[in-house]
Structure 1
Amino acid sequence: MKKLSKPITELQSEYDFVVVGSGYGGSIAASRMARCGQQVCLLEKGKEFLPGQFPTNLRQAAGEMNFIRGKSPGINRNGLYEFTIGNGINVFKGCGLGGTSLVNANVSIRPEDRVMNDRAWPEAIRDDLESFEEGMKRAWEMLKPNPYPENTNGYPVLKKTEAMRRSAEFMSEPFRLLDINVTFEDKQNHVGIKQAKCTNCGDCVTGCNVGAKNTTAMNYLPDAFNHGADIFTEIHVRYLEKQGDFWRVFFHPVNIGRENFDAPLMFVTAKNVILSAGSLGSTEILLRSAEHGLRLSDRLGKRFTGNGDVLGFGYNNDVPIHGIGLGNRGTDQVAKVGPCITSVIDMRERKQLDSGMTLEEGTVPGPIRGIMAKSLITFSRLVGKDTDRGIGDYLREKWRELKSLVMGPYHGAVDNTQIYLVMTHDDGNGEMELNDGKLSINWRGVGKQEIFHKVNGEILSATKALGGTKIPNPTWNRLMNYDLVTVHPLGGCGMADDASEGVVDHKGQVFSEKTGTALHQGLFVMDGAVIPRPVGTNPLLTISALAERSCKVIAEERGWPLSYEFDPPKIEDQDTSFKGTGVQFTETMRGFFGLGELEDYGVGFEKGKKEKSEFEFTLTIQTEDINDFVKDPDHPAKMVGTMLAPAISPYPMTALRGQFNLFIENPAAPDRKKMAYTAHLKSKEGTDYYFEGFKDVYNDRVIDVWKDTTTLFINLYEGYSSEGKLLGKGKLVIRIADLIRQLKTIKAIHAQNKREGLKAVSTFGRFFAGHVFDTYFRFGS
C-alpha cells in the first residue's frame, strides 16, 4: 500500500475545504467534498501508519502511548494510543491517519430506533429518518461490514464466541454475530486498495498489520486521495478565526523543531472548515477559538457522554477462550484468536430505553500480553468475585494460574479469560472546558450511576455461566471513586434546533450566537462530538451515517453534484512512496527590513534598525532524498514556516511553497557560492507577498565563514513573484543561541531504519562542511 499523506512543504495557502481529523467524520467529509469537485485539504494530528508499521510488542506500544493530563499544552504529542485523564472519566482514542478507526474493534451496528427518535435530536433528524437511513447505506457501501465467517474459507468457530453463546443461553438473552469492518478474503477493494484477508491474530486495537481491517485509511481516505484531496499528517490544529468570507485555520506542525524557537502558529485559509477531530478534539478547537473571539453557543463542551462504556473480565473460566492477540508472534495462517469483537449479547430491547445495553466479547492485543498474567491475578484478589466454589474448582483455578505465570498468557488462567465491553446509557452530563489552555473533562461521580451497577450484574451473570471470576474495570472501585474509562467519547458540540440547546444544527453547521438559529457560514462539525445523547452501542455507524447525511445536505444546498459511483484511478498504480531518506532542519534568522529602500541591503538594514522595523523568520527546510539533493547542482530543498515583519503586517505571516538552494555554484566565479531562499507569504489580512533572500558565500581573503554563512540579504515583493512591486530590502543573521537550537532540529525523515537515518544526516553534514572548506581554504590557499 502506498502513502496517502504529502509532506507539509506541499501545503497550499488556500482551499475550498479544510477538514480537521481523519476518523469516520473527517474521512467521509474529505471523500464527499472532493467528489463534489471541491479543493480539499485534510489535516491530521497523528502519523500515517501502513500495514506492518503498527506496534507488535510492549516496547513499541509504549513508545506510541500518549497520556494527556496536567497543565502542559502537549502541542507535540501525537502517539497512536492517546489517553486523556479526566475527573471521573478517562478517554482512550486513536491518533493517526484514520483516527480511532485504526484502534477500534470495527463493529458496525445500527442504533436502536428509540435512540434516533429521542427528542435530544434536532427536529430535522427526527422528522426525516429516511435521510439518516440513506447515510447508513452509504457508509455500509464504503466500510463493507460483514459477520465473522464461521466454518467458511478455513475460519474456525472461535472459543470466545462459543463461550458467549453459552453466556447468552444462561442469561436468556439474544445472541448474534456482529457485522464488523474486516476483510476475510484477499482482494483489491472498491477504491483500489489491495487488502489481505484477516489472519485472526486478534490485534485489531493496536493496529492491523495485515491490512484486513477496513479502517478509513482503507476506503474513505484513499477515495478522497483518488478525487484530488491533499492529505497532511502531524498537523496539530489549535483554533480558528473568521476573516471576512474566509476562515483561518491555525496549526502547529508536530515535531519539526519550531517549538524550540517559540515560533508562532502557521495558518491555512479556507472557504469552509469541517471539524472532525473527535469529541475531545473538535470541542477543544472550538473552545480555544472562542477564547480568540469566535462567537459560539454556551452549550459548547456540555452533554459529554462516555456512551455508557464499561470494561470487564471473566477471569480464569472453566473453558478456554483464546482471547490474547499474537503481536510479534503473528502468522500468515488463520489463527484461533479472531478479530477483536465478533459477537454480542444484545439487551437493548428493554422496556426502558436507558436500561438497555449491548455486551460484547473482545481480545487483548498481543503487544500488551506480557502484563496480563500478573495484572489479572492481582485484580482478581483485590476486586474479583469468584462465581463458583468447591475444593476441586479451587485447585483447578490455581493450577491454571500457575500455568499462565510459568508458560505465558496463551496458557492457563489468562487463556481462559473472557474480555467484555458493555455499552449502555449514562446520563450524558459530562462537561469539557479549557483550564489554563488545556482541555479538562469533568464528570465526578459518573461511575456511581445506577446503570453501571446493573451492567456489573450482567457481567457477573455472563461470567457465572463460564465458572470464572468476575473482575470489573480496575478503576471502578471505591478507592478510585468508581472512575470510568470510555473508548466511545461523544458530545461536546451537540446537535440541536437552536443555540440555546446545542452547538450545531442538524447538518453539523455551527451556531453563531448564544441563542437563536443564526449560523457561521462555512463552519461545520462532523464526528462523535455532535451526537447529543448516548447511543447505547458501538457508535461508528451512527457517526458515519450522520456525516454522510450532512455532506449530502451541504452538496444539495450548494447545487454541487455528488456521485457515489466507484470508478476511481487505482491508487496502487500511483507511486506515492518516498524513494530515499531525506533530511530536515529548522532555522530562525532575525534582523531588520527597510520598507521603501530599493537599492542597498545595508542601507535597508540600518533604516529598519532606526525605525525598529524588525524582520524574523522560522523556516523548516526539507530534502526528500539526500542523495538526489547532493547530486543536483542546484541542491534544491523545500521550505515552509512563518515570517514576522511588523512593517507589513502586525501578525505572523505563513510561508508556503518555499524553495531553498544550498551552495549554488557560479562557473564564472568559482570562488563564490550562493544559498538562496524564496517563499510565498500569506498575511492574516489575506495579502500575498513574495520573499527572496540569499547568502553570498565568498572568500575575500578574510576568514569570514561565520559572517557569510549566517547573513541573509532579503527582498520583499508584493504578489506571488519577484515581478511584483519591490517593497524593501534588509539583512538577517543567525544568533549563536538560535544556531544551537537549529542543530538540535536536524534529523532524517522517512528513513527505513535508524542506520539509514544516521547515514542521511552524516551525508548532509559532510556535504555542508565540504563546501565550506572548498570555498574558504582551497581557493584562498
Structure 2
Amino acid sequence: MSDRILLEAVIIGSGFGGAVACCRLAQKWPGQVMLLERGKRYPKGSFPRTPHSFASNFWSTVNNSEKHAKQRMDGLFDIRNYRRMDAVVSAGLGGGSLIYANVFLEPPDWVFSTNWPKPLSRDYLQTYYAVSKSVLGARPIPSAENDPRRQITRQQLFADFASADGRNSRLADICVFFGNDHHTPLGIGEQSKNRYGATQTSCTYCGECDVGCNVHAKNTLDLNYLYAAEHHHAAIIRTNCIAEKITPLDIHGQEDSTANGQHGYRVDYHDANSQPQSVFSRRVVVSAGTLGTNELLLRCRDEYGSLPRLSQRLGQRFSGNGDFVSIVVEGKRAADPNYGPVITQYIDYGLNDTPDNETAFILEDAAYPAFAAWYVEGLRPTMNPLHLLGKVWRLTRLFWRRLVQSLLNGKWSGSIVGYFNSLLHGDISFHSNILLFMGRDKGNGVLSLRNGQLYLNWPQTASRPLYEAMIACGKRFKDFVHSGTHIPQPTWAWPIRNNITVHPLGGCALAESASKGVVSSQEADRGQIFGYQGLYVADGSLLPGAVGANPSATIAALSEWIAEGITGIKPDDSLGVARHA
C-alpha cells in the first residue's frame, strides 16, 4: 500500500535530531511533514515499573528459538551487543530523551578544532545551542534554600571529592521541569502547562529519569518540539513504523536508483501491524539514531542498491563518547542516590579545564530509582554473606531484648517500631555511589553489515588510556569515601572487557567532501548527504568524534542548523507557538 501524495518532508526517527527537524519543517510546511517512529507513544504514567511489565520493556526484532523471545518486543530499551562494545538506546516517541539523564552540556572550543570540518565550531553553532537550550528548558537544579526537600545529599559529597582531588565541581544544566519561571520554581509535584501547551509536573525528585518519567517532569521531546509540531503545525506522526528503504524518484515519480533525489524519494516502511507501506516526499531527513541511521543507509547502499552514491566513508568514525560507569559500594559517607534527578553536577578532568586530548573526561553524579534500591538490598546477602549473618545476629539479639523488656513492662509498646528501624536502617544504596564518566575516546570504530546484521568493529585498545584514567578516578573516590569496594562496569571484568555506551556517535560524519565523510558541513548544503539532493541526516551519527560532554546539546544544535538551511527560517524558542498556548 502506498500514499502517492508528495509530501514536503519525511522524518525518520524522533530523537534530538528528528524532533527538531519535524518541528521546524512543519512550521514551514504545515500538514505536509510526516514523522515515522519505530517505537510507541508513552503518555503520562505509562512507563513500566513492575517486574512483569518491565520484562517486556525491551526492543527486539529478532526471532529465536527461546519461547520467551519468539514475539517481537516493542519496548523502550534497545540493547545491542557487539564485540568490545555494547550499546543501550531508546525506542519510543521522543527517542533518547525518554531515558537520558537530562544534561545539556556544550563541549569546549578545542574539541571542534581536533576533527570537525569547517565552518563548524562552538562559536559558529552558539546561536543554535542557545535556542535548543531554551526550548528544552535546561537549567541547574533549584536551590534548597527555600525548600529543604530540594536538598540532595550526594551534591555536597561530590563537591567535597572534587576539591580533595584538585578539581572543580559544577552544577549541570538539566532539562527538567521546575515550572516555567527559572527564578521561582513551582512547588514539588505541582502541575502546570509548559509554554507549548503540554501539561507537566514539577520534578518530584524520584530518581526515575533513566527509566521513563511517569509524571512528565522531564522535558522530553514529546512535550516540546514534537508537541508543537503535532499540535500546532499539523505534523503527521506515525508510531510503531519501521523504515526499511529509501529510493530516489525520476522525473515521472518512478523509483530510480540512479537518480540524485531532485524529484523526491519513496520511503518504504512497515506499520504497527507489520504491513508494508510507502510514502513519497520531496525530501527525507534520516534521524533514526546512530545505529538506526547507519543500518538503514548501509542497507540502502549495500543490500538494496537504492542509494549507490553514498560515500565509502559510511559507517566510519564510530565513537562511544568515552562512556564508562563505576560503582562505589558502602562508603562511610551518606550519598542517598535514590533521590533527585539522575544527574545534578559534573567534575571536569581535562575537558574544559587544562584540556587533555588523550584522557579528557568528566565525572557526573547519578541517582537511580528507589524501587531498584529494594532489589539491590535483596542481592546483599549474595554479595556479602558475613554481613547477612551479622544482621541476623543483631536482629535476633534485639528481638529477645525487646521481648524481655516488654514482658517486664507488661506491654509491647514501641518494640515493633524499633525492630523495623533496625531491620531497614543502613541499606546498601544509601552509602553507595554511581559514577558516570564520559570522555574523548578515539572514535575509530567502524559500522558495517555482516550476515545481514549491523556489526561494529571497535578497536578498544587505542582508547584504553582514557578508560584506565577513569578507573583510577573511581578508585580515588572509593578511598575518599572509605569504601572497600570499587566496581568498574560489570562488562569490564576479564575476559569480557566490553565497553557500554548510551551515547553511540558517528558513522555519517560531517565533512567538507565525500572523500572525508558522508554528510556535508558546507553552508550551502547543511546536513545533506553527499551525492544526493534533499536527503539529509540529523542525529548523533553526524558527529565526527566524541565530544566528551553529554552529546544531546550538540545533536540538537546541529539539527537546528540543518533545519534552518532547509527552511530558510531563523529558529527561535517560540517554535511558532503563542506564549500562552
Q: TM-score range by the shorter chain?
A: 0.7 to 0.9
> Which residue of 2 is the match for residue 352 of structure 1?
356
Alpha-carbon distance between aligned partners in 2 of 1:446 and 1:68, rounded to the nearest angstrom: 31
Equivalent in 99, 107, 118 of residue 95 of structure 2: 99
- Is 1:137 the counterpart of 2:130? The answer is yes
Pairs within 5 Å for 1:611-690: none
Question: Against the structure 1 CA distance between its residues 37 and 237, is the aligned structure 2 distance closer, same or farther, given a 3 Å change threshold?
Answer: same
Task: Compute the displacement of 1:420 (Å).
Answer: 1.0
- Is 1:281 the counterpart of 2:292? The answer is yes
> Which residue of 2 is the match for residue 181 of structure 1?
175
> Which residue of 2 is the match for residue 321 of structure 1?
335
> Which residue of 2 is the match for residue 343 of structure 1?
345
Letter of the structure 2 residue corresponding to residue 144 of structure 1: G
Alpha-carbon distance between aligned partners in 2 of 1:251 and 1:112, rounded to the nearest angstrom: 39
Question: Against the structure 1 CA distance between its residues 17 and 312, is the aligned structure 2 distance closer, same or farther, given a 3 Å change threshold?
Answer: same
- Is 1:554 the counterpart of 2:552? The answer is no
**Are the aligned partners of 2:246 and 2:267 in contact in 1 as well (CA < 8 Å)?**
yes
Equivalent in 549, 568, 574 of residue 577 of structure 2: 568
Task: Compute the displacement of 1:20 (Å).
Answer: 0.6
Pairs within 5 Å for 1:292-303: 292-293=304-305, 294=307, 295-303=309-317
Alpha-carbon distance between aligned partners in 2 of 1:144 and 1:104, rounded to the nearest angstrom: 15
Letter of the structure 1 residue corresponding to residue 564 of structure 2: K
> Which residue of 2 is the match for residue 29 of structure 1?
21
Larger radius of gyration: 1
Alpha-carbon distance between aligned partners in 1 of 2:139 and 2:29, rounded to the nearest angstrom: 31
**Are the aligned partners of 1:307 and 1:536 in contact in 2 as well (CA < 8 Å)?**
yes
**Greater per-residue strand proportion:** 1
Letter of the structure 1 residue corresponding to residue 327 of structure 2: F
- Is 1:470 the counterpart of 2:470? The answer is no
Question: Against the structure 1 CA distance between its residues 297 and 398, is the aligned structure 2 distance closer, same or farther, given a 3 Å change threshold?
Answer: farther
Letter of the structure 2 residue corresponding to residue 479 of structure 1: P
**Are the aligned partners of 1:88 and 1:447 in contact in 2 as well (CA < 8 Å)?**
no
> Which residue of 2 is the match for residue 497 of structure 1?
512
**Are the aligned partners of 1:401 and 1:414 in contact in 2 as well (CA < 8 Å)?**
no
> Which residue of 2 is the match for residue 62 of structure 1?
55
- Is 1:248 the counterpart of 2:266? The answer is yes
Pairs within 5 Å for 1:439-518: 439-443=454-458, 445-446=460-461, 449-468=464-483, 469-480=485-496, 482-506=497-521, 507-512=526-531
Question: Against the structure 1 CA distance between its residues 422 and 190, is the aligned structure 2 distance closer, same or farther, given a 3 Å change threshold?
Answer: same
- Is 1:169 the counterpart of 2:183? The answer is no
Task: Compute the displacement of 1:406 (Å).
Answer: 12
Task: Compute the displacement of 1:564 (Å).
Answer: 5.1
Q: TM-score, normalised by structure 1?
A: 0.62
Residue 318 of structure 1: SS of its match in structure 2? coil
**Are the aligned partners of 2:225 and 2:575 in contact in 1 as well (CA < 8 Å)?**
no
Task: Compute the displacement of 1:117 (Å).
Answer: 2.1
Residue 132 of structure 2: SS of its match in structure 1? helix
Task: Compute the displacement of 1:369 (Å).
Answer: 3.9
Residue 268 of structure 1: SS of its match in structure 2? strand
Alpha-carbon distance between aligned partners in 2 of 1:422 and 1:302, rounded to the nearest angstrom: 24
Residue 222 of structure 1: SS of its match in structure 2? helix
Q: Which has the higher contact order (CA 8 A, sep 6+)?
A: 2
**Are the aligned partners of 1:447 and 1:476 in contact in 2 as well (CA < 8 Å)?**
no
Equivalent in 186, 193, 198 of residue 198 of structure 2: 193
Equivalent in 16, 27, 32 of residue 8 of structure 2: 16
Letter of the structure 1 residue corresponding to residue 215 of structure 2: V
Task: Compute the displacement of 1:350 (Å).
Answer: 3.2
Question: Against the structure 1 CA distance between its residues 112 and 52, is the aligned structure 2 distance closer, same or farther, given a 3 Å change threshold?
Answer: same
Alpha-carbon distance between aligned partners in 1 of 2:71 and 2:513, rounded to the nearest angstrom: 33
**Are the aligned partners of 1:17 and 1:271 in contact in 2 as well (CA < 8 Å)?**
yes
CA deviation string 1:528-579 (max 9, x = no partner): 00000101111110111111111112223xxx5766545637998xxxxxxx
Question: Against the structure 1 CA distance between its residues 229 and 74, is the aligned structure 2 distance closer, same or farther, given a 3 Å change threshold?
Answer: farther
Task: Compute the displacement of 1:193 (Å).
Answer: 1.1
Task: Give the unaligned 5+ runs of structure 1.
Answer: 1-8, 259-264, 325-336, 382-393, 513-519, 573-781
Question: Against the structure 1 CA distance between its residues 213 and 299, is the aligned structure 2 distance closer, same or farther, given a 3 Å change threshold?
Answer: same
Q: TM-score, normalised by structure 2?
A: 0.83
274-283 or 239-248, larger mean C-alpha shift: 239-248
Residue 377 of structure 2: SS of its match in structure 1? helix
Residue 491 of structure 1: SS of its match in structure 2? strand
Alpha-carbon distance between aligned partners in 2 of 1:131 and 1:283, rounded to the nearest angstrom: 26
Pairs within 5 Å for 1:659-738: none
> Which residue of 2 is the match for residue 711 of structure 1?
none
Letter of the structure 1 residue corresponding to residue 94 of structure 2: G
Letter of the structure 2 residue corresponding to residue 137 of structure 1: A
Question: Against the structure 1 CA distance between its residues 448 and 344, is the aligned structure 2 distance closer, same or farther, given a 3 Å change threshold?
Answer: closer
Task: Compute the displacement of 1:377 (Å).
Answer: 7.0
CA deviation string 1:442-497 (max 9, x = no partner): 215459712101110011112221112211101112221x1111011100111111
Question: Against the structure 1 CA distance between its residues 37 and 408, is the aligned structure 2 distance closer, same or farther, given a 3 Å change threshold?
Answer: farther
Task: Compute the displacement of 1:281 (Å).
Answer: 0.6
> Which residue of 2 is the match for residue 125 of structure 1?
120
Instruction: Give the paired residue count.
Output: 518
Question: Against the structure 1 CA distance between its residues 221 and 409, is the aligned structure 2 distance closer, same or farther, given a 3 Å change threshold?
Answer: farther
Task: Compute the displacement of 1:368 (Å).
Answer: 4.0
**Are the aligned partners of 2:23 and 2:575 in contact in 1 as well (CA < 8 Å)?**
no
Letter of the structure 1 residue corresponding to residue 311 of structure 2: S
CA RMSD of aligned residues (A): 3.1
Task: Compute the displacement of 1:15 (Å).
Answer: 1.3
Alpha-carbon distance between aligned partners in 1 of 2:333 and 2:387, rounded to the nearest angstrom: 15
Alpha-carbon distance between aligned partners in 2 of 1:278 and 1:436, rounded to the nearest angstrom: 22
Equivalent in 82, 87, 90 of residue 83 of structure 2: 87
Task: Compute the displacement of 1:71 (Å).
Answer: 8.9
Task: Compute the displacement of 1:373 (Å).
Answer: 3.4
Question: Against the structure 1 CA distance between its residues 358 and 12, is the aligned structure 2 distance closer, same or farther, given a 3 Å change threshold?
Answer: farther
**Are the aligned partners of 1:401 and 1:412 in contact in 2 as well (CA < 8 Å)?**
no
Residue 328 of structure 2: SS of its match in structure 1? strand
Task: Compute the displacement of 1:93 (Å).
Answer: 1.1
Question: Against the structure 1 CA distance between its residues 339 and 510, is the aligned structure 2 distance closer, same or farther, given a 3 Å change threshold?
Answer: same
**Are the aligned partners of 2:529 and 2:537 in contact in 1 as well (CA < 8 Å)?**
yes
- Is 1:233 the counterpart of 2:239? The answer is yes
Question: Against the structure 1 CA distance between its residues 470 and 10, is the aligned structure 2 distance closer, same or farther, given a 3 Å change threshold?
Answer: same
> Which residue of 2 is the match for residue 221 of structure 1?
226
Letter of the structure 2 residue corresponding to residue 451 of structure 1: L
**Are the aligned partners of 1:17 and 1:274 in contact in 2 as well (CA < 8 Å)?**
yes
Question: Against the structure 1 CA distance between its residues 281 and 378, is the aligned structure 2 distance closer, same or farther, given a 3 Å change threshold?
Answer: farther
Question: Against the structure 1 CA distance between its residues 439 and 398, is the aligned structure 2 distance closer, same or farther, given a 3 Å change threshold?
Answer: farther
CA deviation string 1:345-383 (max 9, x = no partner): 1222234223211100112234544442365776789xx
Letter of the structure 2 residue corresponding to residue 415 of structure 1: F
**Are the aligned partners of 2:310 and 2:530 in contact in 1 as well (CA < 8 Å)?**
yes
**Are the aligned partners of 1:373 and 1:409 in contact in 2 as well (CA < 8 Å)?**
no
Alpha-carbon distance between aligned partners in 1 of 2:142 and 2:50, rounded to the nearest angstrom: 28
**Are the aligned partners of 1:380 and 1:471 in contact in 2 as well (CA < 8 Å)?**
no
Question: Against the structure 1 CA distance between its residues 278 and 463, is the aligned structure 2 distance closer, same or farther, given a 3 Å change threshold?
Answer: same
**Are the aligned partners of 1:357 and 1:425 in contact in 2 as well (CA < 8 Å)?**
yes
Letter of the structure 1 residue corresponding to residue 22 of structure 2: A
Residue 436 of structure 2: SS of its match in structure 1? strand
Letter of the structure 1 residue corresponding to residue 331 of structure 2: N
Equivalent in 542, 564, 588 of residue 554 of structure 2: 542
Alpha-carbon distance between aligned partners in 2 of 1:493 and 1:193, rounded to the nearest angstrom: 34
**Are the aligned partners of 1:490 and 1:529 in contact in 2 as well (CA < 8 Å)?**
yes
**Are the aligned partners of 1:369 and 1:409 in contact in 2 as well (CA < 8 Å)?**
no
Task: Compute the displacement of 1:14 (Å).
Answer: 3.2
